[in-house]
Amino acid sequence: MENKVRNGLLICALLVFAVLIAGCSDQSSAGTTTPVPTTALPEAKFAAGDIIAKSASSTDQMLFVIIQYDTKSGMYTRAWIHKNTDGSWGHFSNDKTEKAERILVETVYPVKIARVTVSSIPIVTPTIPPTVVTTLSGSAPTVTGISPASGARDAVAGVTITGTNFENGATAKLTRAGYPSITGTGVSVSSATSIGCTFNLASDLGSYNVVITNPGGQSDTKMGAFLIGDAPPIITSVSPSTAGLNSTQLAISIEGQNFKEGVKVTFVQGTNPPLDCVTPTSIDTKKITCVLDLKMSNGGNLGDWDVKVVNIESQQTGTLIGKFKVDNSTST
């Protein structure tokens, strides 16, 4: 009997202890609950109708205007606004808008320079002027050739240009990419197929295009038809002008203009093999010295000979016709 009473008391004590533990646990949990803090975003810098710029001194004719600000997303809606002709703001060119993050807008465009009522801004579509199509009158010319087809740099060249459909009042030019055009002067249209003019060749060496333009605007170009080159050598005299057949080691002096450092001098008579004047030397572009061998075994012959000078680099040639004579005088 006593054992039963003892066991019953033990069970009651355990139940009371369990209830106390549960109560303490609930109180502790409730007591340590921490509320979640809430932080409100600061007020937006711009409102609908604000025209914003990168600086207060902006002179742009087109800027962003704020359409609205969404506090939940933190996004601005903006659009481009244009100045009116009187300098006031403004008008839209279309109804396009875009969204942008608040921090981006307020950082890049920190200044409000004006304010407008968004609902009153009109859409003004820009007027695109019509394309004016120019109708060229008359027949188009064609250029078939030019004579001479070359000229010396810094010289004045008179030329004749041939082709078709040339009209009175036509103009002539020499053109080359990257260089100023050379305009012909004294242009004379002698017929529908021929034009004469003069070109001042004060330009760089090279090939040039020939362009003819009729008064009505029609034109034609012959590509690379004219060459500006070095001035050709000009021979004014040869000394001595007479020498005996079979002369050897004859010192020759040639005078003139435009002689280059690299020259070739030959004496020419009809179809006979030419005689080379050896060791030619150009002096101050105006004089050449060389040595000639007139032995018959070398090709020497009696009679008149032409003197020919070639500037080797540019292949420009100058000739003095029949001014050197070989006779039967005593050989040197």
Contacts of 97 (CB under 8 A, 6+ apart): 67, 77, 78, 79
- Cβ pair 319, 308 in contact under 8 A: yes
- Cβ pair 248, 295 in contact under 8 A: yes
Domain segments of the chain as ranges: 50-120, 142-229, 234-327
Cα separation of 190 and 168, whole Å? 9
User: What is the Cβ-side half-sphere exposure of residue 197, based on CA atoms within 13 angstroms?
Assistant: 25
Query: In whole angstroms, how far apart are CA 66 and each of 43, 52, 88, 96, 115?
Result: 15, 8, 17, 13, 9
Q: For domain 142-229, say whether CATH 1.20.1340.10 is its number.
A: no
At 63, give phi and psi (nearest 5°).
-135, 170
Strands 219-229 and 150-152 come out as parallel
Which residue's structure tokens are 């060749």? Answer: 201
Tell me the CA end-to-end span of the chain in Å, nearest whole number. Answer: 174
Structurally, at CATH architecture level, domain 234-327 sits in: Sandwich (2.60)
pLDDT at 316: 81
pLDDT at 19: 43
- Cβ pair 216, 138 in contact under 8 A: yes
CA angle 87, 90, 95 (to 5 degrees): 150
Which among 196, 178, 179 is positioned nearest to 187, based on CA atoms? 196
* Helix residue spans in the chain (DSSP H): 2-31, 102-108
Taking only the tens of pLDDT, the chain with its 332 residues reads 455 545 555 555 555 455 444 444 444 444 444 554 445 557 899 999 999 999 988 888 889 999 999 999 999 999 999 998 888 998 998 889 999 999 889 988 999 999 999 999 999 887 767 766 655 666 899 999 999 998 888 889 999 999 999 999 999 999 999 899 999 999 999 999 999 999 999 988 889 999 999 999 999 999 999 989 888 899 999 999 999 999 999 999 999 999 988 899 999 999 999 999 999 999 888 999 999 999 999 999 999 999 999 988 777 889 999 999 999 876 44
pLDDT at 29: 44
Query: In whole angstroms, how far apart are CA 310 and each of 237, 251, 260?
Result: 16, 19, 9
pLDDT at 176: 93
Q: Do domains 142-229 and 234-327 have the same CATH topology?
A: yes
pLDDT at 136: 62
